[in-house]
With several copies, the nearest count.
Chain A
Amino acid sequence: MPETDTTFGDYGGQYVPEALMPAIEELTDAYERYVLANEDGFMDEFRERIHDFGGRPTPLQRADNLSERYDRDIYLKREDLLHGGAHKLNNALGQVLLAKYMGKERIIAETGAGQHGTATAMAAAHLDMPCEIYMGRRDVNRQRPNVFRMRINGAEVNPVDIGRGTLKEAISETMRDWATTVENTHYVIGSIVGPAPFPAMVRDFHRIISEETRRQTREQYGRLPDSVVACAGGGSNTMGIFADFTSDSPFSTAPDSNTDADEDVSLFAVEAGGSSLDVDEERGVAPNSASLSTGSEGVLHGARTKLLQNTDGQIMESHSVSSGLDYAGVGPELAKLVDDDRVTPVNVDDDAALEAFHRFSQEEGIIPALETAHAFAFLETDADLGEFVVVNVSGRGDKDLEAALEETAKRDLPNAPTMEVFDE
């Protein structure tokens, strides 16, 4: 039986209340049997459903206009076309299906911007499981359309009134629910964070992105890319597309990697630089979410990882123009890969992300999520990305229209569209 990666070097682990440990052991067992060993054909059913219900494989598309701009071949991995509008469904569907195999009767999840919540609500409706989503009160009010979507898909939405009312509080609150209902409930965590086996399991559900990318780059371009660029909040879309390019992937030693060494594929994780990389220790605020670039080792939400904290170890409020990147921690596996110099952490600030949001929309006819826009902003870099670059389009921007325009209006961006059509 294959075994779970519970740690990634010094990172990872299982820092959770004892009450949850039996559930975590049960989940670990289910993950090893169903996901790793495909017991009862679990992975076959997952693949069939993510294909038929989710719309996989997603295309790998050459971005003609960006390729011309950067004088490289820029290809887009189109996770924005997945059902729900982001990569999130890979994981949500995988976990809800696993919960079903485990005989659980109820699904809970946290959500920030609402993308993971909507993906989970969709997966739960599809698989006929009752579902409750925790969401900070502030996010409930900021992300109305996603709240509508969850409710319309039949999920309960529980506003969290504690603290600042954002993702961090929602995660803590979902853990509290789980600690109470653990016997019949599965907690569908939304990124490659949390206690083991979550980071490995979530990665494995998203790994299909990288599996397809390897195949598609070979078919369409004849070889693996020179670099792969993905935004990183918790890091699930990131590890999803990186997974099979890292050395402990089953594929990096597979026959198909003989022709070109996987280590030659540069991996860039683009974090939210927010308004600045400086922190305000006094107020406990980091005006960014760049935990890989600027964070330090610590324990948050069940795992040891890199995070934004003050010298005492209190978690800081993070910030980003994109709520999906706005998180003080990051997946432990990414932290390890950064320490190993396998993944290069970079970051771009709010302004650059907004400019890239408009540039990409205008040049390619695809409105990206604000999270994804960070990956595109990084293409303006001087770094040598090689001649063949794949960018993970982690999600579409429909959820961000109001926010993007509001933030745009505050700034003096060279490429901002006007909205005077509404004026009369």
Chain B
Amino acid sequence: MSNPAIDAAFADEPAFIPYLAAGDPSYEASLEYVEALARGGADIIELGLPFSEPIAEGSTIQNAIVRSLQGGMTVGRYFEFVTDLDVDVPVVCMTYYNLIYQYGDESGPEPFVRKAKSVGIDGFVVPDLPAEEADPLREACDRHGLDLVFIVAPTTDDERLDRLVSLSSGYLYIQARLGVTGARDDVSNETTSSLDRLADYDIPKAVGFGIKTGEHARDIIAGGADGIIVGSALVDIIAEGTETDSPTEEPAAELESLCQELKAGALEGAQ
């Protein structure tokens, strides 16, 4: 049982999945930036809800999270943000488990998922929630028809892989290399071997961690992936914008054009 909007994103061609932290560096600017992703060809948007202890993120996204929190982002504002967002692609909420767990009066993830559903969120990626701890959230997602995407790491063995595939809905997030998020200059060999291992599983596979250029995108899709996830390379544009005090339009335009490049690379890889 998975979310049809997300299924659709993988239906015909490879899915391009950009990530940004909501509210980075401000609510208003961030709205424009996220909308630029859609214009640039996003098939799904992973929209980060910032948590104060982002243990899976490299410094680029950590800094984005700091900027967003300092800009006043809260869980309540995040839901408003999604409501205000004028895009036509499915939105996956990427956050850490404590924020999901704390929301609302009842204990457990149910209230958060209910609320997410009501503002139009289609699924979740929760980097600090391994299969072992996922049952309550998985159940809440099932109740509301949202996807829960699990991450497969280079260290994941076959036994765990089976379990992750069976728990995951929407797509699998293939972590391209060990470590934390962050843009790199090459594509890891581990990616290819991960994709090979997964070839027989019937679920879309999106590769993330370190993708930066159209060329990367092309190679990864050519290697068998169904989608690419790009975060830090995009966040870099926003970070630069804040440093040079650029007006919002400039980074937005750059974001859009990098998205186009990535998307084009992905399409090329699929040929």
Contact = CB atoms under 8 A, between A and B. Distances in A.
Interface of A: 13-23, 162-163, 168, 172, 175-176, 179-183, 284, 297-302, 309, 311-315
B53 A19 contact: no
A162 B59 contact: yes
B164 interface: yes
Scoring A20, A22, A175, A314 by chain B CB atoms within 10 A of each residue's CB, the highest score goes to A314
17 contacts: A16-B128, A17-B130, A17-B153, A19-B175, A21-B131, A21-B153, A21-B155, A21-B160, A162-B63, A172-B55, A176-B56, A176-B57, A176-B58, A298-B98, A300-B53, A313-B98, A315-B52
Interface in B41-60: 51-59
Contacts of B97: 15, 299
B155 A172 contact: no
A313 B127 CA distance: 16
B66 interface: yes
B74 A312 contact: yes
A298 B55 CA distance: 15
B79 to A, nearest CB: 11
Given A22-B157, A181-B178, A182-B178, A314 B132 contact: no
A298 B109 CA distance: 12
B12 interface: no
B155 A311 contact: no
Given A13-B133, A284-B52, A313-B103, A299 B178 contact: no
A297 B55 CA distance: 19
B255 to A, nearest CB: 24
Contacts of A302: 128
A176 B52 contact: no
Most chain A CB neighbours (cut-off 10 Å) among B59, B128, B151: B128
Contacts of A179: 55-56, 178-180
Instruction: Choose among B96, B101, B102, B131 the residue with the greatest number of A CB atoms under 10 Å from its CB.
Output: B102
B180 A176 contact: yes
B69 A18 contact: no
Contacts of B69: 314
Chain A interface, DSSP helix/strand/loop, else mixed: mixed
B221 to A, nearest CB: 23
Given A22-B157, A180-B178, A17 B55 contact: yes
Given A18-B156, A19-B155, A21-B156, A13 B55 contact: no
A300 B98 contact: yes
Nearest to B62: A162
Most chain A CB atoms below 10 A, which of B69, B76, B101: B101
Contacts of B180: 176, 179-180
B54 A13 contact: no
In the A-B complex, the 7 residue pairs with the closest CB atoms: A313-B102, A180-B179, A19-B153, A299-B98, A313-B98, A22-B155, A175-B55
A42 B243 CA distance: 54
B55 A14 contact: no
Given A21-B130, A309-B102, 10 more contacts: A17-B153, A19-B175, A19-B178, A162-B59, A179-B180, A297-B107, A298-B98, A298-B102, A299-B96, A313-B75
A31 to B, nearest CB: 16
B152 interface: yes
B241 interface: no
Contacts of A313: 51, 75, 98-99, 101-103
A15 B178 contact: no
Interface centre among B97, B151, B152, B175 (most CB of A within 10 A): B97
Contacts of B151: 17-19
Interface string B209-226: 000000000000000000
B150 interface: yes
B107 to A, nearest CB: 8
B120 interface: no
Nearest to A176: B180
